């Protein structure tokens, strides 16, 4: 709750202006603003006129990285953009995306959301074939694999690469006069095709189309490749799909409330989660308070179902970055203390139901409970609109070990005591599925139940430092067919 060991992955966007004249970078720039919540460490855009490719990327937020001058320099009617939170490879400029590599079909600009679980093995093979890597990201592995594929066309090369990649990958790519998007066989991370007056666009979430004047036309299916040119867009199935496995935390936390995923508005899904949570874990209380902003939709549903007033009992300081971005515990703690403040007049002398989307480490959750008690709350009943997180994610979320997950080691009662709450209730996994109104078999809930849609990688294969030089040197060269 609040402390976000669940760190966002990344957001991708790509634009093609069909008149071959209108600059695409400004539209990509607007899309990245809409996707800023998915990554706040770096941002970048590569733009092309079909011949020359220019790229600008840097560390920081979209508003910090791009100026009117840098956008004007990104001329061309095709563009691909990216916002990053590091889940494989450190937060350095070298790892900012899009990644650009040479290829037989001209420069490729690649933006990626997800994590490959066979990136170290693929990189060893590619380095043995003469590839020189400039970063420690799995995105560069994808880019070089495409560039080195035994193929006559770039589409054949992409199909070849898709068949050799394992794990979660949602990719937007610019090559020549084409933008391309593709997803892994399980569709773990989202990707949507849309368009507007005179342009095609690919984006991680539908909210990006609202910012650009476009409309979503449909999700790219798992294992599918979508190709956009000035003449049109076409979908090409590439990989067999053993089963869909959409990440449930896209619905619980990652996606913006105004986004639609798999035909379901995220805010309405979260509101249903809150209603189910209230039925499963009622509390004798006076009011419901969300942890802003991630708990707001679920708290609304909880209050409706419980017949309790929904109050603003916590105020968020919007001029401080999200606490999970800070790597130092002391800096993180100071950030939490100034990030939230209790409204004493609302909570004093009252029994409070505190609603948020998840508890990961529990450290910030405990501080929020203490904050409400200092403001005079008589009781604090914590309600969580997701089940306990007991297993790490290897598909683009920075949870590298179970040791960091409080629910992996402690019972619900032990967590309640650690938080200092009067009671604690989690949404059940069945309740989550009910709220999503989706079959359980199309969801990835591995972080909840340990049932992974792919083989389970080692931390060496899928951890944040998997492609750092020291980690690679410790591995024997890999051989693949």
- Which residues are catalytically annotated? 10
- Helix H, strand E, coil C: the string for 395-441 is CCCCCCCHHHCHHHHCCHHHHHHHHCCCEEEECCHHHHHHHHCCCHH
Tokens of 439: 């079959």
Q: Is 250 helix (H, G, I), strand (E, B) or coil?
A: helix
Q: Is beta strand 340-342 parallel, antiparallel or unpaired with respect to 287-290? A: unpaired
Residue in the block written with tokens 């990688």: 457
Tokens of 249: 């935390």
Q: Tokens 């209730």, residue?
A: 425
Q: Tell me if residue 117 falls in helix, strand or coil.
A: coil
| Distance, CA of 371 to chain centre | 29
Give CA–CA dist 81/78, Å, rounded.
Answer: 10
Cα–Cα dist 348/118, whole Å:
53
**CA terminus-to-terminus distance, the chain:** 44
CA distance 4 to 252: 13
User: Is residue 181 within 8 Å of 203, Cβ to Cβ?
Assistant: no
| Beta carbons within 8 Å of 127's beta carbon, 6+ residues apart | 133
Residue 473 structure tokens: 């040197």
* DSSP per-residue codes, 127-171: HHTT---SSS-HHHHHHHHHHTSS-SSHHHHHHHHHHH--EEEEE
* Three-state DSSP class for residue 246: strand
- Please count the other Cβ atoms lying within 10 Å of the Cβ belonging to residue 159: 18
Left (φ > 0), alpha (ψ -120 to 50) or beta: where does 192 sit?
beta
String of b and e for 417-434 (b: at least 16 CB within 10 Å)?
ebbbbbbbbbbbbebbbb
Distance CA 291, CA 371 (A): 12
């Amino acid at each position: 709750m609040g402390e976000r060991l669940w760190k966002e992955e990344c957001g991708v966007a790509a634009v093609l202006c069909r008149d071959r004249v209108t600059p695409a970078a400004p539209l990509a720039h607007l899309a990245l603003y809409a996707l800023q919540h998915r990554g706040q460490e770096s941002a970048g855009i590569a733009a092309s006129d079909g011949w020359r490719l220019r790229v600008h990327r840097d560390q920081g937020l979209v508003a910090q990285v791009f100026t009117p001058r840098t956008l004007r320099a990104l001329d061309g009617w095709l563009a691909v953009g990216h916002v990053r939170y590091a889940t494989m490879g450190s937060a350095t400029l070298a790892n900012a995306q899009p990644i650009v590599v040479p290829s037989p079909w001209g420069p490729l600009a690649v933006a990626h959301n997800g994590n490959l679980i066979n990136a170290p093995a693929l990189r060893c093979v590619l380095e043995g074939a003469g590839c020189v890597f400039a970063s420690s990201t799995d995105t560069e592995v994808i880019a070089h694999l495409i560039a080195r594929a035994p193929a006559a066309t770039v589409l054949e090369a992409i199909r070849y690469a898709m068949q050799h990649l394992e794990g979660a990958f949602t990719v937007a790519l610019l090559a020549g006069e084409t933008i391309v998007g593709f997803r892994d066989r399980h569709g773990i991370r989202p990707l949507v095709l849309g368009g507007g007056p005179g342009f095609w666009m690919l984006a991680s979430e539908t909210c990006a189309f609202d910012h650009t004047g476009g409309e979503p036309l449909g999700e790219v299916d798992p294992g599918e490749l979508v190709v956009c040119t000035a003449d049109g867009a076409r979908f090409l199935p590439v990989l067999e799909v053993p089963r869909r496995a959409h990440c449930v935390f896209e619905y619980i936390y990652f996606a913006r409330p105004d986004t639609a995923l798999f035909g379901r508005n995220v805010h309405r899904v979260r509101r249903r989660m809150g209603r189910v949570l209230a039925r499963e874990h009622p509390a004798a209380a006076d009011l419901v308070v969300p942890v802003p902003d991630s708990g707001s939709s679920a708290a609304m549903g909880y209050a409706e179902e419980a017949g309790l007033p929904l109050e603003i009992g916590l105020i968020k300081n919007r001029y401080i970055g999200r606490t999970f971005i800070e790597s130092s515990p002391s800096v993180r703690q100071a950030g939490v203390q100034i990030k939230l403040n209790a409204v004493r007049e609302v909570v004093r002398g009252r029994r409070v139901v505190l609603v948020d989307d998840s508890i990961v480490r529990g450290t910030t959750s405990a501080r929020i409970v203490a904050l409400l008690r200092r403001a005079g709350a008589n009781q604090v009943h914590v309600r969580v609109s997701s089940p306990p997180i007991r297993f790490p994610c290897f598909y683009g979320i920075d949870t590298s070990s179970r040791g960091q997950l409080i629910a992996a080691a402690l019972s619900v009662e032990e967590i309640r005591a650690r938080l200092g709450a009067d009671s604690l209730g989690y949404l059940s996994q069945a309740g989550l599925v009910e709220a999503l109104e989706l079959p359980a078999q199309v969801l990835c809930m591995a972080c909840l139940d340990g049932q992974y849609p792919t083989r389970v990688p080692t931390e060496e294969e899928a951890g944040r430092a998997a492609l750092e030089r020291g980690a690679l040197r410790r591995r024997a060269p890999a051989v693949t067919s």
